[in-house]
Amino acid sequence: MKPHIKSGIEYAVITLLVAGLCLWQIISSTQDGEPPASRLVLLGLGLVVAGTMHCVFMMQLVRRTGRAFMPWFIAIVVFMPIGTAVLLALLLGEAEPSES
């Protein structure tokens, strides 16, 4: 796999994990009763920023691999988890086998 494609995949997965962590913290903090508003605001901002950066990294991967922009934009932004999974599966499936 080309290094610029591999680094894009790594960044996209990391930002998706950060978004998932923020969402998990929001859900768990609301289970304990009334959480502080500042905590919810910071976690919400983290969720929005991580989700946005994930979409940016995924769209950079689309451009770097020469795929059509608009269909993948719709798939990634509107159907975020499914579009991301499909694109990552395609990119990882096209990866050249490493020589040992």
Q: What is the pLDDT of residue 99?
A: 53
Which residue intervals of the chain are DSSP H helices?
3-31, 37-65, 69-77, 80-93
Q: What is the pLDDT of residue 96?
A: 65
Residue 93 pLDDT grade (very low, low, confident, very high; cuts 50, 70, 90) = confident
Contact call for residues 5 and 91 (beta carbons, < 8 A): yes
Q: Where are the domains of the chain?
A: 3-93
pLDDT, average across residues 26-31: 91
Q: What is the pLDDT of residue 72?
A: 92
Model confidence pLDDT, tens digit, residues 47-87: 999 999 999 999 999 999 999 999 999 999 998 889 999 99
